A and B are shown apart, each in its own frame.
Chain A
Amino acid sequence: MGKKLLLEKDHVPGIRSYEVYRKEGGYASVEKAIKSMTPEAIVEEVKKSGLRGRGGAGFPTGMKWSFLAKPPGVARYLVCNADESEPGTFKDRYLMERIPHLLIEGMITSSFALGANTSYIYIRGEYFYVARILEQAIEEAYKNGWLGKNILGSGYDLDLYVHVGAGAYICGEETALLESLEGKRGNPRIKPPFPAVAGLYGCPTVVNNVETIAAVVPIVNQGGDAYAAIGIGKSTGTKLISASGHINKPGVYEIEMGITVEDFIYSEEYCGGMKGGRKLKAVVAGGSSVPILPADLILKTANGEPRLMSYESLADGGFASGTMLGSGGFIVMDDSTSIVKNLWNFTRFYHHESCGQCSPCREGTGWMEKILHKILDGHGSMKDIDLLWDIQSKIEGKTICPLGDAAAWPVASAIRHFRKDFEEYVQNPSSIKDVHHYYRLNDLTEA
């Protein structure tokens, strides 16, 4: 069994309640931080830990924290990103639902380190019932003196609130999230300025993912070096992986970074192998936005090395033969899967979720969806495949926020690795089996 830092206690009966969580050692990081550490010392431990943002981009958290501007007399904010909408990702929900106090504890310790006196957890609206669980935990934390005025007699004040969204993938992008938290449409902002300088209400702000904030708890408790000793290379610590698709045991797994992909898919400890013993066809390893890889390339790098579950190994080979760890949304597809139809599904998703500010993203996602629809309808031509390639290449890197890239990469990688599948549909439309075109375009705008 691998080492667990976040989900070690997730099966302790009653761990959702304050009493049990506290009895199991909860809130020790707040005590240690506030009583015996300076904010700067905490930032230093986080830097030492090598922790990288778990929201998808993998940016070093300690570095992000040290960028936070500190003009005197200006409020600073910590905002937790619990928008979790990247298809294939459900780890944050699991963590918040099972051990809500771990996130609350992480928020308090992190807010203290950043000098924030008001912090928010922005949670997607569909997770309303999870928001209630968090609010209950927050209430317990207030009652027991971990939140509010003069925490542990230190003179440090902190208020923590849950804020629900209302259904928009784009609000996971940090500047769209801040707009949404200000009561506006979720349109990403042009950067710079970055949130570290001008974020919520124009004040310096740090936005971090749920899992990132939770990881601060073991880092403060055990020290940054102990955290960095787990994992491999620059992928330190543990990572929550949301595993779904054609596997025997879908679910959330906390892994030590550096285990092999093969072990993750086939071992009993994790996914337990392919459902029905079928053959692995492809994997989307880090949420819908990252490049899809065929079985041979996800299990082994282009050099024939075993592929590992780490930022570096998954990215090995660049986009020619690699992918990204992303949010850890690990979607497994067996040999019955239509790659073309899955791509259409993703593309429809991005078209639906584009905020519409940039023409390459707004128009390009729509055109890619239409062309894929045409191919699936049996009316595609070889030129359409090239056109798809052309469109995605004109979105990537040319938009305000990375949603454009996120829409382009799945298309590029599917064509790169599965071009034969597209050609087969074009040349032999009768091969388009089990493709129901179920969602008509007007269903989408209507619904």
Chain B
Amino acid sequence: MSSDKEIKFPEETLELVRRMMKRYPEGKQKSALIPVLHLAQAEFDGWLSPQVMDYVASLLNIQSIEVYEVASFYSMFNLKPVGKCTIEVCRTSSCWLMGAEDVIRHIEKKLNIKTGQTTADGMFTLKGVECLGSCGTAPMLQVGAEYHENLTLEKVDSLLDNLRKEDKRKCYTDHFDPQSN
């Protein structure tokens, strides 16, 4: 993230953080850590820099180290910068049986990167992830909050094209309209 951007949530996010902290008993505000880290990652360019983690620690009134040890444990938290869209392809058994390898190889070729890397233009990061609970609609991938299932290579192509056209950062916390599904 650019160093000149001030690390501070906008007021409405702060309000959300306060509400989240109230979900847990008095003195147990640390419970809100993971949900708040999700908000922080969405707010500050898709990853958690040490400065962002220190900020989260100050919000929850806990030590920075308590934030670092949690952020580094969970696979959804990025400790390094990522592209605008992280393409997370499930590589576990059922998806593998249904052709996940072909999907990954196809995306690598198309974006000219290896799994774990980000495209030079900062648009895409490709990640291999474990079973996302979509095994009956395999192969599948996730971008931000959205699941893309029953993939074919054509579907992957048009998804990448659309994401490029849209040119927007995708986050797990993105609004998802339940009625649209």
Point out residues on A near B: beta carbons under 8 Å: 16, 75, 84-90, 92-93, 97, 118, 124-129, 132-133, 136, 159, 161, 163-169, 180-186, 201, 242-246, 250-252, 284, 288, 329, 331, 333, 337, 342, 345-346, 349, 352-353, 436, 438-439, 443-444, 446-447
Chain A binder among B3-11, B67-75, B156-164? B67-75
Partner of B176, one of A89, A128, A443: A128
Give 1 or 0 for each of B16-31: 1 = CB within 8 Å of chain A CB: 0000000101001011
Q: Does B35 contact A (CB under 8 A)?
A: yes
Inter-chain contacts of A88 with B (CB < 8 A): 93-94, 131, 135
Whether A185 lies near B131 (C-beta < 8 A) is: no
CA distance A27 to B105 in the complex (A): 48
Partner of B136, one of A185, A242, A443: A242
Q: How far is the CB of A394 from chain B (nearest CB, A)?
A: 24
B133 A439 Cβ-Cβ under 8 A: no
- Residues A244 and B135 in contact, CB atoms below 8 Å apart: yes
- Asked if B64 is at the interface (CB within 8 A of a chain A CB), the reply is no
| A-contacting residues, B92-150, CB 8 Å | 92-94, 96-98, 101, 104-105, 114-117, 126-138, 142, 145-147
Report the nearest A residue to B142, measured CB to CB.
Answer: A126
Residue of A75, A124, A166, A438 near B38 (CB, 8 A) is: A166
Number of interface residues of B (CB under 8 A): 57
- Residues of A within 8 Å of B145, CB to CB, are 128-129
Q: List 17 A-B contacts (CB under 8 A).
A: A87-B92, A88-B131, A125-B74, A126-B133, A136-B178, A166-B38, A167-B75, A168-B73, A182-B30, A250-B138, A251-B136, A333-B97, A345-B92, A438-B104, A443-B116, A446-B115, A447-B129
Name, among B73, B93, B142, the residue most crowded by chain A CB atoms within 10 Å (CB to CB). Answer: B93
Complex Cα gap A18–B30 (Å):
32
Known: A166-B37, A186-B73. A244 touches B116 (CB 8 A): no
Q: Are A86's CB and B34's CB within 8 A? A: no
Residue of B nearest to A181 (CB): B31
A438 touching B105 by the CB < 8 A rule? yes
Contact status of A183 and B34, CB under 8 A, knowing A245-B94, A342-B93: yes
Residues of A with C-beta under 8 A to B34: 125, 163-166, 180, 183
* Most interface-central of B70, B76, B98 (chain A CB within 10 A): B76
User: Could you tell me the distance in whole angstroms from the C-beta of B43 to the nearest C-beta in chain A?
Assistant: 15
Give chain A nearest CB distance to B63 CB in angstroms: 12
Looking at B116, B128, B178, the one whose CB has the most chain A CB atoms below 10 A away is B178
Q: Report the minimal beta-carbon distance from B158 to chain A, rounded to whole angstroms.
A: 21
When chains A and B are docked, how far (Å) is the Cα of A136 from the Cα of B175? 13
Contact A185 B69 (CB under 8 A): yes
Cβ of A342: which chain B residues have Cβ within 8 Å of it? 93, 96-97
Contacts of B126 in A (CB 8 A): 447
In the bound complex, residues from chain A placing their C-beta under 8 Å from that of B152 are none
- Residue among B73, B105, B116, B127 facing the most chain A CB atoms (10 A cut-off): B73
- Assess whether A97 is in contact with B136, with CB atoms less than 8 Å apart: no
B84 proximity list for chain A (CB < 8 A): none
Q: In the bound complex, do residue A349 and residue B94 qualify as a contact, i.e. CB atoms below 8 Å apart?
A: no
On whether A438 and B101 interact (CB within 8 A), knowing A180-B34, A183-B70, the answer reads: yes
What residues of A have a CB within 8 angstroms of the CB of B138 in the complex?
244, 250
Complex CA–CA separation, A444 to B138 (angstroms): 21
B181 interface hit (Cβ, 8 Å): yes
Residues of chain B within 8 A (CB-CB) of A169 are 130
CA distance A184 to B69 in the complex (A): 8
Other-chain residue from A16, A167, A184, A349 in contact with B92 (beta carbon distance below 8 A): A349
Docked Cα-Cα span, A16 to B127, in Å, equals 32
Q: In the bound complex, do residue B93 and residue A164 qualify as a contact, i.e. CB atoms below 8 Å apart?
A: no
Residue pair A164, B35 in contact (C-beta under 8 Å): yes
Interface centre among A118, A337, A438, by most chain B C-beta atoms within 10 angstroms, is: A438
